[in-house]
Amino acid sequence: MRRDRPPINPRSLFGAWFPILASRERRIIFLDGFAGPGIYDEGQPGSPIIALRTLLDHKVFPRYSRCEFIFHFIEKDTSRHHRLRTELRQFDPLPSNVKVSPHHGEFQDVIEGVSESLDSRNRRLAPTLAFVDPFGVSGVPMELISKFLDSRKCELFLILMVDHLNRFLSAEHMRGGRDSLFGTSDFSEVEAAPAGERIPLLVDLYKQQLCDVAKFQYALDFEMRRASGTVPTTWSTPPAASPESRSSKTLCGRVEVASQVWCNGGVGRRFGW
């Protein structure tokens, strides 16, 4: 049964994750799969700006000069990508142990290229927090999530657009993207349920697929509440993860979320990217 949880500030989320991993790793990665322009029309900072500012302003950042912090920001829209690059210049010059790479392209294409590069060098992904906020149901196949985030030290924060999925669940034009997103074509239990009961079933099915297909040990869901409705979100960690840090504050802007912060355990490996 889903329980209400206190709101969490994204700066608290990132602020907890960075020092925990940096205290035990020599390289960590923050990956934003749908980065956006950096700053939105209302002047609100996007996740790339929040993540970078959280690290650079963190009181413990000077302690981790031996850890390399790598940020990958992926944006397919040309104008948004250019705006993002412009906004990132505010952080120049960056400390020598902070690397920022904005990528222009589709999330799936960029990630597949990275996976192939790592495979060719027989290397694994460094400990990673992947923030994936797609605009619909396409471009984030379960197969890709399973392959790319197979490290025991990688975590996934993914927004699942269940309102959209619920409205068009059985629509012919949605089936390909829907099946790819979930890694299954069996939605019989969801489709048989009354429309008002489908959203929890969709969330539970996606969480189950993360565990069964992508071999994640933990999958925690919570809701993002907007004035126009609610959007359940999934926070997941692969095998050997353990909850080591919890934080709760209020998310800036119009959106409120409720969650817990999880930190991965696991053993040391040879990592790359």
How many domains does the chain divide into?
1
128 has pLDDT over 70: yes
- Say what the pLDDT of residue 58 is: 94
Q: Which pLDDT score is estimated for 92? A: 96
Q: Is residue 182 part of a domain?
A: yes
Place 214 in a pLDDT band, splitting at 50, 70 and 90: confident
pTM of the predicted model, to two decimals? 0.79
**Residue at 145 is within a domain:** yes
83 or 243, greater pLDDT: 83
232 beta partners: 223
Q: What is residue 232's predicted lDDT score, i.e. its pLDDT?
A: 59
Structural domain includes residue 150: yes
Would 2 be classed as within a structural domain?
no
Domain that holds residue 158: 10-267
Q: What is the pLDDT of residues 166-185, one digit of tens each?
A: 888 888 888 999 999 999 99
**pLDDT: is 235 or 77 the higher one?**
77
77 inside domain: yes
Closest to 218 in 3D by CA, of 159, 157, 160, 268: 157
Of 50-64, 172-186, 216-230, 242-256, give the lowest mean pLDDT range. 242-256
Smallest CA-to-CA distance from 25 within 124, 109, 94, 136 is with 124
Residue 134 pLDDT greater than 60, yes or no: yes
The CATH number given to whatever domain includes residue 118 is 3.40.50
Would residue 4 count as lying in a domain? no
* DSSP collapsed to 3 states, 163-199: HHHHHCCCCHHHHHHHHHHHCCCCCHHHHHCCHHHHH
Pairing verdict, β 128-132 and 154-159: parallel
Pairwise CA distance, residues 227 & 186, whole Å: 32
Say if 5 falls within a structural domain. Answer: no
Whether 25 is covered by a domain: the verdict is yes
What one-letter code names the amino acid at 88?
L
Predicted confidence (pLDDT) per residue in 18-70, tens digit: 998 899 899 999 999 999 999 988 888 999 999 999 999 999 999 999 999 99
Output 1 or 29, whichever has higher pLDDT: 29
Instruction: Give the mean pLDDT of 191-212.
Output: 91
The 10s digit of each residue's pLDDT in 76-93 is 999 999 999 999 999 999
